[in-house]
Amino acid sequence: MAIPGFGEIAEQLRRSTVLIHSGGRGLGSGVICSSNGVLVTNAHVVRSTRPAVQLWDGREFEASVQSRDPWRDLAELRIDAVNLPAASVADSSQVRPGELAIAIGNPMGFVGALATGVIHGVGPLRGLGSQNWVQAEVLLAPGNSGGPLADARGKIVGINTMVAGRLALAIPSNAVRDFLSAIPSDGRLGVTVHPAFIPSPVSRAKTFGLVVLEVEPKSPAGRASLLPGDILLGSEEQRFASPEDLARALKGSGPRLLLLEFLRGDYQRVRRVAVQLGEQLPRRSPVAA
């Protein structure tokens, strides 16, 4: 069944979608959030401090990273441009299964590629923490990350992030709104982590942990001698059950100590380290949390 005005809707979405080059051959997508140069994309798309952004009309800009939340996998960028075609945003709490879904992005370098499908649901997924996802039966590929998932009116309902089985997962637009309006925190640890379940050496039970993939030099984690491969288990107050638990442990302002429990090599020995937070840090790399 033909949708009246679908061609115009798709074209407007393309104009509100950007191509992002960030380190090596890495390509991703982003969405224009305001006409004065504010963009949003996935945090994992932004792998350099000054990513290059290409607009629908071919213009290229060097972007600055304004803020980054690796727990929700979001990053805010800014370019020196005005009168940009900003995307319209919908209330993701009103999205219902069975609605039409439209994805725009730059998969495998194909600029402005369009894919359509239907919304499967909105909510959390097992193994991915407690956060909600807009789940859609839409075909995505590398390069779609950071691009828009829209409804039949062309309004953004989510930011495409990953694929789980046959489903495309997008960060709900309401969570994106909260991210863009949040006041920055000084609670940066300086690590990139990945959730994992660690087998117990004495039972069949598995323990949740956050595997450290990268440590930013001269960050709180770096000064505390945390290393890639370490597994963060929790703080002095609670064990981690999701990446959001670490984000909550980092909240606060001013100089303070955070006591972390972690594993290094030996799964039977829990180590502890005190990390100094709240100091002014050199912002060398946007890949750190």
Residues 51 and 123 in one domain: no
Among 48-57, 88-97, 188-197, 258-267, which is the least confidently predicted range? 188-197
Report how far residue 172's alpha carbon sits from residue 186's, in angstroms, rounded to the nearest whole number. Answer: 25
What is the model's pTM? 0.68
Mean pLDDT, range 194-217, rounded to an integer:
81
Q: Write down the pLDDT at residue 67.
A: 82
The confidence band for 266, taking pLDDT boundaries of 50, 70 and 90, is: confident
The confidence band for 287, taking pLDDT boundaries of 50, 70 and 90, is: very low
Asked if pLDDT for residue 288 goes beyond 50, the answer is no
Residue-wise pLDDT tens digits, 64-95: 988 888 778 899 999 999 999 999 999 999 99
Asked if pLDDT for residue 284 goes beyond 50, the answer is no
**Residue 208 belongs to a domain with what CATH number?**
2.30.42.10
Report how far residue 180's alpha carbon sits from residue 177's, in angstroms, rounded to the nearest whole number. Answer: 5
| Residues taking part in catalysis | 44, 73, 145
Residue-wise pLDDT tens digits, 235-261: 988 899 877 788 788 877 778 899 999
The confidence band for 273, taking pLDDT boundaries of 50, 70 and 90, is: very high
Query: Which of these three, 161, 181, 201, is where a domain ends?
Result: 181
Report how far residue 141's alpha carbon sits from residue 145's, in angstroms, rounded to the nearest whole number. Answer: 8
Nearest residue to 243 via CA among 119, 129, 91: 129
The whole domain housing 261 covers 191-277
Contact 90, 156 (CB under 8 A): yes
The confidence band for 183, taking pLDDT boundaries of 50, 70 and 90, is: low
Mean pLDDT, range 151-170, rounded to an integer:
92
Residues 49 and 107 in one domain: no
Query: Which of these three, 154, 181, 208, is where a domain ends?
Result: 181
Cross-strand bridge partners of residue 113: 105
Contact 159, 146 (CB under 8 A): yes
Nearest residue to 19 via CA among 42, 63, 52: 52
Asked if pLDDT for residue 137 goes beyond 90, the answer is yes
Domains of the chain: total: 3
221 in a domain, yes or no? yes
Nearest residue to 238 via CA among 214, 215, 258: 258
